[in-house]
Structure 1
């Protein structure tokens, strides 16, 4: 349930080799053993991209890859952070003087920003505190990490936060493939520009309908105030917003405000210098994607005979909208999606913020081996700079078998398969997960 606390497990119930290695690293670094461990799983979003911060539900599932943290409280106001990956330097600071530089992408900021919101509910802390590092994100990543359960995906809704089980159909698996392109959304303006475009679209749509546009922040707010369907909102978008980019001057004229007001009251700090905004395209994506999420859940609930094909079509529509309306794809993602569809996926789309990262593809189980072989050859082996992949074929009583792997110089990462059903699929070994170690100050 959404209100439940994250589960607490005895140490022996967690993967022993990783814990032992982490414990040894902790003792070597700090001279004492950790008092407890914290694990946060990763996630893959099946559908519902870039709509959580607009107020709409998303449909992710958790994955085995995680962040594992060892902790020891100490009688000091100094927090010490260390990482088992030597690429990330040790860090220490007084909890009474936490400074977060939004202009620099530093790994320890993700821990420090949590201290900024420690008085709020835990899932909401993560959503709000992420903004201290410069990302105007939604709440999907945090919610699924806290609320995920084995054997099911989740429909995550916001305001209030709640999670509903979504049982995926048998007969297909989800393949997550790394494009080997990395994009730091906190260090670039792409992501936050999209957030501001949605906010500006909200303002203009609200004003056109006589709503109090100054109080409206999310596209979902407009729909709720008007009391109309998502399909009707798409019609309103076509009537109110033109496809051509809006200049800051035109936006100011539409809202009856000055450029100074626009920058100080609406735009985020790292979008102050953006001169044009595509409002029609972004709003069209959000409302259509929100409708696809609801349709995806409906199909899963009703489980028609052609459910796999129908879900695949929704994933394809989502990808096209992400690429053409939201413009958050990249050439490598486009190539990878095309290859996945060419070799047997019924649906394939980018997952996450985009501009790099991973794709998720829905593949019929009987086509899986051929699919993996062909995608490996067509995408990964064709470019020595790309990560050769690993595969995980998931059931809940898993055994593992190592596949051929090769580390990339650019970005290490998995190519793996997940099924939420007890299908007879061979298990394989995952790549090392991200493991942090820390020495936490006593804040009481």
Structure 2
């Protein structure tokens, strides 16, 4: 295992163990998590692998095969830079909650495209939390790992995300999506085997990198909070009469509320279709979700829009941007025999505009975080 060999080269000894946490794709339910809403993500086969060994001196040493030359030695967690802040934040969050977590040597290996909107930061947080829970005997349950990861990202790394990404990375099951209530944190797996219905999940990486820390994500969150306050409800999830609510709102607040409330309904509809075995009918929900994200929530970009349009034109049953937006990836639901057609259609659409060629990943719902060696 190359992460073990890299650990030995970096730190001169074997790790105490190796852990893996997956990235995710959100099937539907975008920007609903921080509105106390419903989401329906699934884990992907790619993620973050960490070889870890505990230390007694409180120092955190961390390196990544994907960031050569960026090794960091942290006696003070506040000195963590860039991607390492997500892992350092987990140490901080655990210590803040009274856990006796000292130091560690960590070697990271990942195969998620960075910036593609597949939740690499959440995977890094969850794999770090799981490794520390095992090594220090904390006995944290999967949702506790997710909560620690979210606290690390919110309060240490400074990114105001919801809990969806960390939750699915920690709780996912193979061949299932995760139906998650982001208010109660109740969840249940929903069987999701597209291949049994002659369908495939295609992830289209636009190569447009997004950063949640650039302010636009936080702006959308604040607009949602403002809309809820104006309506007198704890969160937009609590809006029961959308038509009446929209009459009381205007501008950005009105548009954001319309997306969130209708997107929550789309999640419920998707779960119903999946339980009925009608996966081929999910396509229209994906398309309507993307249009709402484009027009009402305004988090799409030309590369995402063109990928969706070209994928559907090439034979996909449906497609939509997935993740926070402003770049990242598109998820397409494609009949087995049309995968090459869809990929060709998207390539041609990008080439016609002089854009860099997109990437393609063929996914299947994967298992959540676990110790692998």
TM-score tier by shorter-chain length is 0.7 to 0.9
Give me the whole-angstrom Cα distance separating, in 2, the residues matched to 1:323 and 1:63.
Answer: 24
Q: Does 1:285 align with 2:259?
A: yes
Q: Does 1:27 align with 2:12?
A: no
Identify the residue that residue 209 of structure 2 maps to in structure 1.
182
Give me the whole-angstrom Cα distance separating, in 2, the residues matched to 1:33 and 1:43.
Answer: 30
Contact 1:172 1:419 in 2 (8 A): no
Identify the residue that residue 351 of structure 1 maps to in structure 2.
322
Gaps of 5+ in 2: 98-139, 367-373
Give me the whole-angstrom Cα distance separating, in 1, the residues matched to 2:215 and 2:335.
Answer: 38
Give me the whole-angstrom Cα distance separating, in 2, the residues matched to 1:100 and 1:297.
Answer: 44
Identify the residue that residue 44 of structure 1 maps to in structure 2.
25
Contact 1:312 1:362 in 2 (8 A): yes
Give me the whole-angstrom Cα distance separating, in 1, the residues matched to 2:79 and 2:285.
Answer: 40
Change (3 A) 1:384 1:56: closer
- What SS does the aligned partner of 1:136 have? coil
Larger helix fraction of residues: 2
Q: Deviations over 1:136-187 (max 9, x none)?
A: 111110010011111111212223323222223512111100001001112x
Contact 2:347 2:357 in 1 (8 A): no
Identify the residue that residue 156 of structure 1 maps to in structure 2.
180
Q: Does 1:109 align with 2:85?
A: yes
1:416 to 358, 361, 367: 361
Identify the residue that residue 376 of structure 1 maps to in structure 2.
347
Contact 2:44 2:364 in 1 (8 A): no
Query: Once structures 1 and 2 are overlaid, which stretch shifts more, 314-323 or 134-143?
Result: 134-143
Q: How does 1:136-151 map to 2 (within 5 A)?
A: 136-151=160-175
Q: Deviations over 1:353-378 (max 9, x none)?
A: 11000000111123223223333343
Give me the whole-angstrom Cα distance separating, in 2, the residues matched to 1:200 and 1:194.
Answer: 10
Query: Once structures 1 and 2 are overlaid, which stretch shifts more, 160-169 or 75-84?
Result: 160-169
Give me the whole-angstrom Cα distance separating, in 2, the residues matched to 1:386 and 1:368.
Answer: 16
Contact 1:100 1:112 in 2 (8 A): no
Give me the whole-angstrom Cα distance separating, in 1, the residues matched to 2:365 and 2:326.
Answer: 28
Identify the residue that residue 80 of structure 1 maps to in structure 2.
61
Give me the whole-angstrom Cα distance separating, in 2, the residues matched to 1:346 and 1:286.
Answer: 23
Query: What displacement does 1:134 show?
Result: 1.8
Gaps of 5+ in 1: 1-19, 224-228, 245-277, 390-414, 422-444
Change (3 A) 1:294 1:107: same
TM-score using structure 1 length:
0.67
Larger radius of gyration, structure 1 or 2? 1
Give me the whole-angstrom Cα distance separating, in 2, the residues matched to 1:123 and 1:371.
Answer: 35
Q: Deviations over 1:403-431 (max 9, x none)?
A: xxxxxxxxxxxx1223569xxxxxxxxxx
Change (3 A) 1:361 1:32: same
Identify the residue that residue 92 of structure 1 maps to in structure 2.
73
Change (3 A) 1:64 1:189: same
Identify the residue that residue 135 of structure 1 maps to in structure 2.
159
TM-score using structure 2 length:
0.79
Q: How does 1:427-438 map to 2 (within 5 A)?
A: none
Q: Deviations over 1:235-288 (max 9, x none)?
A: 13222102x3xxxxxxxxxxxxxxxxxxxxxxxxxxxxxxxxx11111110000
Q: Deviations over 1:262-318 (max 9, x none)?
A: xxxxxxxxxxxxxxxx111111100000000000101111234xx41x311110000
Contact 2:39 2:182 in 1 (8 A): no
Give me the whole-angstrom Cα distance separating, in 2, the residues matched to 1:380 and 1:42.
Answer: 28
Larger strand fraction of residues: 2
Q: Does 1:361 align with 2:340?
A: no
Contact 1:339 1:379 in 2 (8 A): no
